[in-house]
Structure formats: structure tokens, C-alpha cells
Amino acid sequence: MPFLLYNSQTRKKEIFTPLVPGKVSMYVCGVTVYDDCHLGHARSALTFDIIRRYLEFSGYEVRYVRNFTDIDDKIINRAEKDGIAWDEISERYIQNFYRDMGALSITKPHEEPRATEHMPDILRMVEGLVNKGTAYQLEGDVYFSVKKFPGYGQLSGKNLEELQAGARVEVDTRKQDPMDFALWKASKPGEPAWDSPWGRGRPGWHIECSAMSVAALGPTFDIHGGGKDLIFPHHENEIAQSCAYTGKEFARYWVHNGFVTVDKEKMSKSLGNFFTIREILEKSPIPKSEAAIGECLRYYLLSTHYRSDLNFSEKSIPEAKVAMENIYGLIQRLEEDDSRESNQADEDFGQVLKEFTKKFHESMDDDFNTPKTLAAIHEFRGGINKLLFKGLSDQMRKTIIDSLRKYGKPLGLFQLTVLQWNAIVMRPSPAIISLMAPPVKVVVESSNEDQWIEGQIRLRNEARAKKDFSTADQIRKELADQGIILEDRPDGTTRWKR
């Protein structure tokens, strides 16, 4: 079945055919690093993480590049406000970006260029545009002349007059046309600045993405992505600069994700109606661990098609958690419950799996229709539950778990162990209770919380003995979050205190 991708430029779904068969090149506009990321940023990062993961799952070799805008007015203003250097601000928020996206298991792109590390590429492009006569110098600034690029407006589907009427353009009578935009800006005294043929200054925002994408992927590449708010002017301007400079086609498919909204309004810094990823991870009532809530957050973000707007409410994460719990519950049942050991339904399983994989690929191949994919996964779960009633062999149970993990991987879901999923909510699973030997029947209520803590410590020690340090650290962190401090003693025992 052909793989369909919605192209914002043609405003329709197209059969995706990469420039080089079997290989996909993708550039995505990253964040301007002057504050912590909110859920809207997570959605964009996740959209392209899914695109990359699924294309790789389908056998493509993907080259994924996403930038950091590490010099910008917002960064300079934040540095001034906080009284520290601008590059300290950008470095701090790049690290926070990794921390927050890491909690969502968002895979790192292959290349992450920063504007300040690509000044020679940027200057070369600006100079080239000036030499071609498509850009002009105005005192220490350089502007792109939109009238010199006949295709201007192709992405937004509007002509220059329509764009002009719809845009809030600052009046600058020096410019040849109100829509002309800055490629290079003279720096004010005290601002960060780089040498250029037009004096000390810094690049405009749009030019960095043109220069870095062309440097990383060549003049023409397959997919260019970002949030839909970037279509105009950012991406429109990128097309103008890049095509005018290289004389070649720029991105072949334009992919834009929808907004996260709160009460139908776009979540954004400027509107002040945002939730940072950190807040959601830390304040969410259930479950307690970052890894588990990261998967719940992914599930919630994937429950709406990436092009549609997605509303966020207090119920969003708990609802996603219930859906996730159903799948982890099934995995746990398959791992533990052998009371109905038989193989009566083994043959039927082949059919259930076949139907599921067909639906999985059909929905993902249709412009990454993740809500449909999630529905197929739950249908698969329902089918398995029926088979379990009839009886499945051990081997078949294992195959089902492997399938859930395999098809969960391109979505970044169901990748935790049952232990990891359960150990972190304050409600131990039967598996954990059974591990709490010597024979103690633990029912977790506040009166025997101490026993539960002891059990967690035993689990942690077992994990450490198996060199599973991530689980061990996670348990320690979970306990610390509850105000329980562990103290490892030289004799190998662990003490705890509140």
C-alpha cells in the first residue's frame, strides 16, 4: 500500500516518494531556547519523532535534522532580565529541553545545528543573495526583496497583496516593500555580534534554517516540518531565501502539526495559558514516575491526529493512563496468569494478529493517523482477551507480548516492563507483592506502609544485584519523592528514614 503524506504546500495527501529511494531527509524547526518547553513544543517534537520512528520501522533510512535557535531577541531579553550572559541562557534551556524531551522518550535527531555555530554558512547565503540582487543592504541591515522572488506566497497559497493585507507589518519606510524581511541585523551596542561585510551584527531568524538545512541536507530534501504557526512568515521566507540562493527546489513535502489548545485557545507563552512539560510531569496525580507519565503523555498527544488541534484539560493525562493501564494490564496477565494454560486458541491468534498488523499499517500509512492506530491496538487487546478465555500456550503468550512491544515501539508506547510501570504507582502489582519474600502477604494500606517501603528496598536491591541500575535508581527516586531517604550501609544492607 502506498504511503500517504499530507503536503501543506499542495494542501492534499500525496503518495510519498523520497528523492533517493529508501532514504528520507527531514529538517524540522526546533525551539528558541529562552524558557522551558510547554506542551505545544512537546507536540511538535513528538509529531516528528513519530514520523521518524515509523519511517524507520517501515525500512527507510532517515536523516533527521532539527535546529536550536540559540540567538534571538527573546534570548537577549531573558538574559537581561536574569542578569546573566545570553549564551548561558541558551545553554541552560537546551539542557532543559533534553531533560524534558528525554522524559517523553523523544529520540534525538541525527544532527542538531545551532545558529551560532553556523555563521559562515549563514553569511555565505546572505552574501550570495546580495550578489544576486535578491537582497539589499540598508545601513547595517540586509533585507530580502520579496518582489524579486516570483514564487513568494506559494506555501501560504496567497499572493503578495493578500499576504500584506493579512500581516501586521511594522512600518519601515526605508524598506523597498513592507513585506521585505531581515536577513541580517546590525547589533545594538552591548548585544552579541558577529563580523560581516555589512558591519557587526547577527542573523535574522528565517535565514538560519535555510542555511543550516541546506548545509546539512543539500539544496533539495524530502520533508520540512514545524508547527502550523510557522507556515507564514517563517517557512514562506525560508522557501524564498533558499530557492533564490540555490536556484533549486527546496523541501519537497511540507508537514505542519496543529496546536495544543486550552479552552479553544492556542497554548502559547505570549497568551500565558501554557503548561510546561515539567509542570505536567511533576504535578500530575498519577502515576508517579517520569517514564510512566512520559508514556501517558505520549498516548494523550497521539490520541488526536497530528494536523488537528488538540485540547488539553485536567482529565487528559488520567484518561490516557486508564487506556495505557489496559495494555500493561494485558501484558501483566500474559506474563503471570497461566491458570488457563492450553493451546486451544493458538490457531485463532494468527488471524487476530494478521488483522491487527493490517490495520496498524493502513492507519499509519495514511498520513500517520495515530488515533486510528490506537483504536486498532485496543481492538487487538479485545481480541486477545477473548482468546485468553479459550486458552493460549506459553509460546503464544510470549508472541503476543512481543507484538505489543514491537508495534508500540514506533509510537514510543508499551516499552516499560510491568515492574517499571507498576512499581512506580503506590499500588504494587501481584508480581511485586510476590517478589516481596520472605512470605509476607502485603496489602498496601497506610498502616503497613513500612512493609511496602521494605518491599521497595528489596526490589531495589534485587535490581542492583542484576545490575539493572535504572530500575534501582527509579525506585530510590520514587521513595525520595515520598520523603523516604535510603542509606546504603557498608555491610550491604539498606536503612531508610523519613
Q: Which residues bind Zn ion (CB under 5 A)?
A: 29, 209
Q: Between residues 230 and 388, which has the closer beta carbon with respect to Zn ion?
A: 230
Per-residue DSSP letter, 377: H
Distance CA 112, CA 212 (A): 10
Angle at 278 between CA 272 and CA 280, to 5 degrees: 80
Q: Between residues 219 and 371, which has the closer beta carbon with respect to Zn ion?
A: 219
Q: Between residues 101 and 280, which has the closer beta carbon with respect to Zn ion?
A: 101
Least Cβ distance, residue 6 to Zn ion (angstroms): 19
Grid-cell match 510476590, residue found = 434
DSSP 449-496: HHHHHHHHHHHHHHHHHTT-HHHHHHHHHHHHHTTPEEEE-TTS-EEE
Q: Between residues 29 and 411, which has the closer beta carbon with respect to Zn ion?
A: 29
Per-residue DSSP letter, 10: T
Least Cβ distance, residue 226 to Zn ion (angstroms): 6
Least Cβ distance, residue 27 to Zn ion (angstroms): 8
Distance CA 473, CA 476 (A): 5
Least Cβ distance, residue 211 to Zn ion (angstroms): 11
Q: Between residues 86 and 254, which has the closer beta carbon with respect to Zn ion?
A: 254
Least Cβ distance, residue 475 to Zn ion (angstroms): 41
Q: Between residues 103 and 126, which has the closer beta carbon with respect to Zn ion?
A: 126
Distance CA 129, CA 207 (A): 11
Tell me the sheet residues that pair with 495. Answer: 487
Question: What three-state secondary structure class fits 308?
Answer: coil
Distance CA 229, CA 233 (A): 9
Least Cβ distance, residue 209 to Zn ion (angstroms): 3
Least Cβ distance, residue 162 to Zn ion (angstroms): 23
Give the closest residue to 306 by CA, choosing from 228, 242, 241: 228
Tell me the sheet residues that pair with 225. Answer: 28, 255
Distance CA 288, CA 296 (A): 11
Question: What three-state secondary structure class fits 106?
Answer: coil
Q: Between residues 212 and 376, which has the closer beta carbon with respect to Zn ion?
A: 212
Least Cβ distance, residue 101 to Zn ion (angstroms): 17
Least Cβ distance, residue 235 to Zn ion (angstroms): 7
Least Cβ distance, residue 29 to Zn ion (angstroms): 3
Residues 6+ apart with CB under 8 A from 126: 135, 142, 183, 184, 196, 203, 207
Distances (CA, A) of 449 to 264, 482, 494: 43, 11, 17
Q: Between residues 29 and 135, which has the closer beta carbon with respect to Zn ion?
A: 29
| Residues 134/145, Cβ–Cβ less than 8 Å | yes
Q: Between residues 89 and 251, which has the closer beta carbon with respect to Zn ion?
A: 251
- What length does the chain have? 498
Q: Between residues 202 and 476, which has the closer beta carbon with respect to Zn ion?
A: 202
DSSP 14-38: EE---SSTTEEEEEE---BSSS--B
